[in-house]
């Protein structure tokens, strides 16, 4: 997953995470009888806070492995899948149109936008949705969220029973809160950009990325539940809407880093580096020989846990190893 550099000059502070965690930090993995033994060992060995779930829905012997799957952890851009789903639901209902032009200017511009950050004008909603998922472009995300509205996305999340999923009003309002703005305030592009570019930022007002007010958080278990239902078409009325959801989810850049080659996958990654706090996350589904393998891996850690670059590599390797083992089991079983 591409590393985020938001306010990289900020100093590390203690207490980066404020939410209550699952108490038993040494809890073992919980495999079913048919599960691959020690599937999550590499992931569990990572330092910091972790939550994961892998559901392999073989017709005869479905099985699951999980580790602290109900822990509420920072998920970064993984939340953008909910924006995509609700936007397409509104298109399906005739309230929105993927071909409509969305405004792209400083009123919606946000940090970490590799596609749209330096552009001004309008673009099709479809292009914004694709940039949001394929490149995790935050400006594209805020364009889509402004059009569909955060309220509608939250209503979708609540209606799906995803009680522990929390999303911001926009990525820029989230960044504004992190650098000290009151709850709900958007400081605007110039102020947020100035804070990001500051060589001597005032960190006394900085807040934790994982907090109880404005954050991006969810447990692994609810990501798995959501993706299984979404990719089965439960949230859409028309087959073509599901097809479009899958098409865009299949564009996520994280897929190529961890999913075995030539394997269909629909996923979204997330990450942040903020004031000594780090997150890497991945959630979604891969299809192996027609078997859905639905997963979520959430990893939160701080500078005190070790070198961020080394931990990032270890996360990627651990997730790729787990997915590779599942892929091998399923392909060999039908060879």
pLDDT at residue 333, as a whole number: 79
d(CA 114, CA 126): 17
> Higher-confidence residue: 178 or 8?
178
Domain-located, residue 100: no
Domain-located, residue 4: no
Does pLDDT of 7 surpass 70? no
What is the pLDDT of the chain when averaged over all its residues? 92
Domain-located, residue 98: no
pLDDT at residue 137, as a whole number: 98
pLDDT class for 27, splitting at 50, 70, 90? low
pLDDT at residue 19, as a whole number: 36
pLDDT class for 146, splitting at 50, 70, 90? very high
d(CA 310, CA 297): 17
Domain-located, residue 320: yes
pLDDT class for 335, splitting at 50, 70, 90? low
Per-residue pLDDT tens for 202-245? 899 999 999 999 999 999 999 999 999 999 999 999 999 999 99
Domain-located, residue 136: no
The DSSP secondary structure of 205-232, one letter per residue, reads: G---SB-SSS--EE-HHHHHHHHHHHHT
Domain-located, residue 143: no
Q: Where are the beta strands (DSSP E) in the chain?
A: 49-56, 63-67, 73-74, 101-104, 121-124, 217-218, 264-274, 277-288, 291-302
Q: Is 187 helix (H, G, I), strand (E, B) or coil?
A: coil
Domain-located, residue 211: yes
d(CA 164, CA 220): 10
Per-residue pLDDT tens for 75-129? 999 999 999 999 999 999 999 999 999 999 999 999 999 999 999 999 999 999 9
pLDDT at residue 29, as a whole number: 82
Does pLDDT of 24 surpass 70? no
pLDDT at residue 97, as a whole number: 98
| Enclosing domain of residue 260 | 41-79+163-333
pLDDT at residue 259, as a whole number: 98
Select from 167, 8, 159 the least CA-distant residue to 83. Answer: 167
Q: Could you give the number of structural domains in the chain?
A: 1
pLDDT at residue 328, as a whole number: 97
What CATH number does residue 239 fall under? 3.40.710.10
Domain-located, residue 146: no
Does pLDDT of 313 surpass 70? yes
pLDDT at residue 10, as a whole number: 36
Does pLDDT of 168 surpass 50? yes
Helices marked H in 114-149: 125-134, 138-148
């Amino acid at each position: 997953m591409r590393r985020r550099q938001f306010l990289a000059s900020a100093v590390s502070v203690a207490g980066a995470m404020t939410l209550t965690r699952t108490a038993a930090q040494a809890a073992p993995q919980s495999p079913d009888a048919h599960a691959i033994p020690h599937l999550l060992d590499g992931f569990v060995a990572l330092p910091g806070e972790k939550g994961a779930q892998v559901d392999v829905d073989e017709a005869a012997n479905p099985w699951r492995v999980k580790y602290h799957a109900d822990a509420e952890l920072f998920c970064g851009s993984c939340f953008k899948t909910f924006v995509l789903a609700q936007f397409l639901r509104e298109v399906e209902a005739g309230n929105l149109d993927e071909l409509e032009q969305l405004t792209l200017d400083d009123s919606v511009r946000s940090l970490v936008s590799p596609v749209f950050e330096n552009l001004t004008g309008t673009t099709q909603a479809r292009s914004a949705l694709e940039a949001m998922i394929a490149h995790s472009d935050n400006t594209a995300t805020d364009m889509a969220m402004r059009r569909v509205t955060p309220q509608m996305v939250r209503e979708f999340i609540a209606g799906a029973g995803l009680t522990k999923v929390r999303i911001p009003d926009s990525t820029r309002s989230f960044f504004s809160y992190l650098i000290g703005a009151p709850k709900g305030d958007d400081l605007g592009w110039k102020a947020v950009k100035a804070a990001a570019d500051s060589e001597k930022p005032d960190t006394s007002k900085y807040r934790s990325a994982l907090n109880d007010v404005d954050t991006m958080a969810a447990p692994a278990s609810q990501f798995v539940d959501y993706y299984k239902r979404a990719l089965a078409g439960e949230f859409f009325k028309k087959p073509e809407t599901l097809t479009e959801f899958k098409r865009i989810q299949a564009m996520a850049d994280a897929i190529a880093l961890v999913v075995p080659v030539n394997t269909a996958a629909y996923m979204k990654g997330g990450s942040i580096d903020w004031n000594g706090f780090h997150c890497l996350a991945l959630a979604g589904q891969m299809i192996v020989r027609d078997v859905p393998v639905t997963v979520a891996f959430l990893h939160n850690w701080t500078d005190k846990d070790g070198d961020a670059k080394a931990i990032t590599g270890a996360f990627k390797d651990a997730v790729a190893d787990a997915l590779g083992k599942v892929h091998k089991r399923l392909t060999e079983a039908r060879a």
